[in-house]
Structure 1
Amino acid sequence: MSTAESTLGHGTVSWRADPYTDALRTGRGPLFLRRHDGWMLPLEVERWCARADAADMAVLRRCERAVLDIGCGPGRLVAALAALGHRVLGIDVHPAAVARTIRSGGSAMCRSVFEGLPAEGRWETTLLLDGNIGIGGDPEALLRRVTEISAPGGLLLVEAASADVDERVQVRVDNGRGCLGAAFPWARAGVPAVERHGRAAGWTAVEEWSAQERRFVALRRTTD
């Protein structure tokens, strides 16, 4: 088993912890990723469980043809893309997230990006939004995997951290009221780090923009 697979397996168990399940069920926070030193990153549960907003739509209008949403969560982007006429599939390791996506009318499956996926090598657009560049705790390994599942010349749309950071950490899901999930690896990457890890994994940055205090990068697959 590769490092990416083993870390993803750890993360899969952790994301099924009760704090996240409860938040998805109610559609409300508070919910955080808690670092070992006590620092906490707020998770925007209410936004994730609402309809796609203006910043989301600015990303989705850039999508080309068939779209894979990696870490789709409760499915707002899958639903919005379907409404725009795209063939779209969401994947997520959390059964409650996949169930909520399907209830919203979207197509989704409970699967890790590091496992076998439908239409590998043919996805024309892939999404890593809502901090999902952190999946597995190793952005370069994640982006190499996305290279494998993307079509030649494919488009990758990434939401970067708002700060210029490049860190790999252990975190736990925390509801702020004393309920914690198990520790798992995560990462944060600002725009320069996303572009640097992308180059190493066979991607070229072609655009970057900000919307509603969120930062995004579009990359084009450059490997054969």
Structure 2
Amino acid sequence: MTAPPAWQADPYTDALRTGRGPLYLRRPDGWLLPLEVERWCAEPDAADRTVLARSRGTVLDIGCGPGRLVAALAARGRTALGIDVSPEAVARTIRIGGSALRRSVFDPLPREGSWNTALLIDGNVGIGGDPRALLSRVAQVVAPGGLLIAETAPLDVDERVRVRVFDGVAAQGTAFPWARVGAAALLRYGRGAGWSLRGTWTVGTRRFVALGRGSP
């Protein structure tokens, strides 16, 4: 497995260790996407709890970060696994009671083809910068009839960018591809990968889409 160097850069590792930002993804033109480190490192909030309530069966959290959802599922007696390319993210997930592996979603995965639910939360529909390829890969990971719960951008956007991790002082590591995708674009790419809409909902400023593998 080859992890993007950015996710091993000191500012990202330090932010997860301390539970504090500021931290951003920065485009070459200077545009910044805030990374909500404090929220990621806290207990699941009201929006997160809607995701936990809608997930079913075994759960794979793709890009689990510091592991709040995986740990919450484990505390409920659920079978859940987080995967992340960041060593610190994996270590923190394990420390708070979750199970996690240092792995990319594009690597071979445990229980491949049998997960009941996959999660792409906290903007992780951007992983790899190619939503079509990502959704096709997730379709291989979940079981027939399985569920994908994704958090989309709150606006109707569909963009590909190259970004670097930025701590407010200096950008770290090499640039890597990322994507920002709204609900309409996600559904369009999902249909091309064999997914169908199961539902949408919004909590505060956060927007979610549930897709099912196959026809409703």
Shorter-chain TM-score: which interval?
A: over 0.9
1:26 pairs, out of 9, 18, 25, with 18
Alignment TM-score, normalising by the size of structure 2: 0.97
Q: Secondary structure at the match of 1:163?
A: coil
AA at the equivalent of 1:77: L
State the match for 1:103 in structure 2.
95
State the match for 1:155 in structure 2.
147
**1:2-13 map, 5 Å:** 9=2, 12-13=4-5
2:129 pairs, out of 125, 137, 143, with 137
State the match for 1:3 in structure 2.
none
1:209 pairs, out of 187, 201, 212, with 201
**1:1-224 map, 5 Å:** 9=2, 12-222=4-214
Q: Secondary structure at the match of 1:50?
A: coil
Instruction: Name the count of aligned residue pairs.
Output: 215
Q: Secondary structure at the match of 2:107?
A: coil
CA RMSD of the aligned region, Å? 1.2
Residue segments in structure 1 that go unaligned for 5+ positions in a row:
1-7
Give the whole-Å Cα distance in 2 for the aligned partners of 1:57 and 1:83.
Answer: 13
Give the whole-Å Cα distance in 2 for the aligned partners of 1:98 and 1:175.
Answer: 21
Structure 1 stretches of 4+ with a deviation exceeding 4 A read: none
Q: Secondary structure at the match of 1:182?
A: strand
Give 1:179 deviation, angstroms.
Answer: 4.4
